[in-house]
Copies of this chain bind each other. A is one copy, B any other.
């Protein structure tokens, strides 16, 4: 109970902090909030910016949802038990300028209960990953190094494990296993075990969540004033098409949300504001656009 409440409080404050940092960087846009209630239990706070100076579309959402385990959840999500609870923050930021990467993060906890309401299972999951349209190696390094530093404070094996999990998760399997972007970290189903208790995993989640602002905002600041033309915007919209394909075809979070009767507009705020799907579009070999594709096909190592 203490862990659950501590996590809920953290998620709410993280939402406030991240929204404040994004508003400051944008300089114009203010988040609007839609608080929503889920009929079967719980709800969330969806905060969205559209058409900012810097952020074309950004959503920073929290949700706290619970209910009885349904047959659909048993068969399609492999969830057992009598009832369940989930609380987390999920954000997706789509900048206007194609030289600024898109970023996604999600940190969550999950609990299952038996008929007496006792906790029978509890796990943490999360991650943050970067989706550039043009590759700046120093940005990739900064982003990965930030999360490596956090990981190393907890366990020196974490970064390489969770970096690999990220590379293996955000994959468009229908496009020769091209990754959505250049990754970051991703972990799921981290349960208390003989080495690390629930408190440890919660602290790890909080430390990752706290790293978001310093992992991403410096990149935005560095790139937000670079001039771009039609050509770069076009390429961004093509890549946003790949982002859309991943989220709708492969992302488990999207499917979980839609199958558990989450709020559709909050779940699909992740989709990019403008998108192009062109038949068989191929960037010129050796171009900056192609360089990005290559690094998505063959994930690199960004830290020493």
Residues of A within 8 A of B (CB): 34, 48, 50, 57, 59, 174-175, 237, 241, 244-245, 248-249, 258, 264-265, 268-269, 271-280
Contact = CB atoms under 8 A, between A and B. Distances in A.
A24 to B, nearest CB: 21
How many of these chains are in the complex?
Answer: 2
Task: Identify the interface centre among A34, A48, A277: most chain B CB within 10 Å of its CB.
Answer: A277
Q: Which 9 A-B pairs have the closest CB atoms?
A: A248-B248, A271-B277, A275-B275, A265-B280, A174-B258, A48-B279, A174-B264, A269-B279, A248-B249
A183 B280 CA distance: 29
B59 A279 contact: yes
A188 B16 CA distance: 51
A277 B275 contact: yes
Contacts of A174: 258, 264
Contacts of A275: 244, 274-277
A268 B264 contact: no
A170 to B, nearest CB: 16
A50 B279 contact: yes
A279 B258 contact: no
Given A245-B268, A268-B245, A273 B280 contact: no
A274 B273 contact: no
Contacts of A237: 274
B258 A268 contact: no
B258 A249 contact: yes
Q: Of A241, A244, A280, which is in contact with the most chain B CB atoms at under 10 Å from its CB?
A: A280
A273 B269 CA distance: 20
A33 to B, nearest CB: 12
A57 B279 contact: yes
A238 to B, nearest CB: 11
